[in-house]
Amino acid sequence: MLTLDLLRVKRKESQIKPKYLTEAWPAEYVLSAYRPGVKLGEARAKIDDAPAEPKLVRGLAHIAERLVKLEEVDKKRLLKIRLEVFREAARRHPVLTDDARRAVIKAVAERLKISEGEVEEALAKAHEDELVIVEPPNTSAEELVSMYNTALIQTLLFRSQYMTSYVKASGAQMKALIRALKGLGLMYTAEPEGGGIKLNIDGPASILKQTERYGTRLAKLVPYIIGAGDWRIEAKIRLYEKTYLFAESKSTAPRLSTRDIVEAEFDSSIEQEFYRQVSRVCKIEREPEALVVGGRVYIPDFKIGDLYVEVVGFWTPDYLRRKFEKLAAAKVPLLVLVDEKLALASWRELPHYVALFSGRPRLSDVYKYIKPYCSK
């Protein structure tokens, strides 16, 4: 995500779009500035001299600097030395000449039993521009372009009043998206549409408090949406004291970046072991297509033929209550595996197959349920 002053857009009547970058050479120029052994301030000076639109180059540099590794410094030691310099300078006030300054440096060096050069270095290293680049941005020019174009969308959505997103994705992709939605605390409703899911998400411009924090969270969701098999985003944007409509889709967008997506593993060793056992005898799909239940997205743990499978382990009472309500409302063939520690009578009341397990589900516990749906 960029700062708003770095956002580049095109406006036509009520429509607004990011001004995407379509050439790689500006990114190549930026990456060439951040070389190992160069001070950060020197790299920034080269950025200021770039033969391109300043806002564009600064935006690319903003992203590149997140990927740079700078030399490590002992901040506590630097702070201690700087405080001693300030104290010594205050005792000798006013310090107006080079000789007076050198006297302060010498006094501090003697007191701390270090060299005068170390004192000078501590004063310099307190400024970020003086830090040396150890490793350059770990990206290519083409990837930096895609990250920049993604950041433009994220920054534009920072000013959204609402966002509607249509997503058609695999179960694993959708589960990662929903985890992100919940983890980021975004407010949404969901409904099925055209074989996918339509998500209606409140935008930061509609929130009365914590607009900046909510906007940052919404921006973090974007890579999960554009990482789907198919996607479309529509949003109402409040910018420059006007309201615009923004629309983008996989078919119309340039290459975008999903670099910030965190790949999910099995939710638990129980699920991993269940998958291992069943896959020996049946074709089993992990995290199949998403379903919409009561305005929320529900992704079962597994699917065997037309049978969905949900493993219910030991979680908080509130989580289990919400899980029970979601399962009860599901209108699909479903096998619910319940830890016997949670074997309350209510689980037996579910309108689905229900099987108990101790520790972890065994194939022998569930085979009679999955056999009619089983294929290899």
pLDDT tens-place string over residues 50-108: 999 999 999 999 999 999 999 887 778 888 888 888 898 888 888 888 888 889 888 98
> Same CATH topology for 158-261 and 269-373?
no
Residue 2 has pLDDT above 60, yes or no: yes
Transcribe 319-369 into DSSP letters.
HHHHHHHHHHH--S-EEEEEEGGG--HHHHTSSSEEEEESSS--HHHHHHH
Distance CA 163, CA 230 (A): 17
Residue 209 has pLDDT above 60, yes or no: no
Which segments within the chain are labelled E, that is strand?
Answer: 9-12, 15-18, 69-70, 133-135, 160-168, 188-193, 196-202, 230-239, 242-249, 285-286, 291-293, 296-298, 302-304, 307-312, 334-339, 353-357
Question: Which phi and psi (to 5°) does residue 126 adopt?
Answer: -70, -20
The mean pLDDT of 193-214, rounded to a whole number, is 74
Note the CATH number of domain 269-373. 3.40.1350
16 compared with 76, residue with greater pLDDT: 16
Amino acid at 52: A
Residue 24 has pLDDT above 60, yes or no: yes
pLDDT at 156: 93
Residue 265 has pLDDT above 70, yes or no: no
Burial class of residue 355, CB neighbours in 10 A (0-12, 13-18, 19+): middle
Give the ranges where 227-302 is alpha helix by DSSP (H): 269-278
Choose the CATH number for 158-261 among 2.60.120, 3.30.70, 2.40.360, 3.40.50: 3.30.70
pLDDT tens-place string over residues 107-163: 988 888 889 888 888 887 778 888 899 999 999 999 999 999 999 999 999 888 889
Cβ atoms of 193 and 292 within 8 Å: the answer is no
Radius of gyration, alpha carbons of the chain:
28
| Residue whose pair of structure tokens reads 């740079």 in the numeric block | 68
> Across all residues in the chain, what is the average pLDDT?
85
With H, G, I as helix, E, B as strand and everything else as coil, classify residue 248: strand
Q: Where are the domains of the chain?
A: 75-130, 158-261, 269-373
The mean pLDDT of 193-212, rounded to a whole number, is 74
Residue 210 has pLDDT above 50, yes or no: no
Instruction: Report percent pLDDT > 90 for the chain.
Output: 34
28 compared with 187, residue with greater pLDDT: 28
pTM of the shown model: 0.68
Residue 264 has pLDDT above 70, yes or no: no
Q: What DSSP designation does 123 have?
A: H
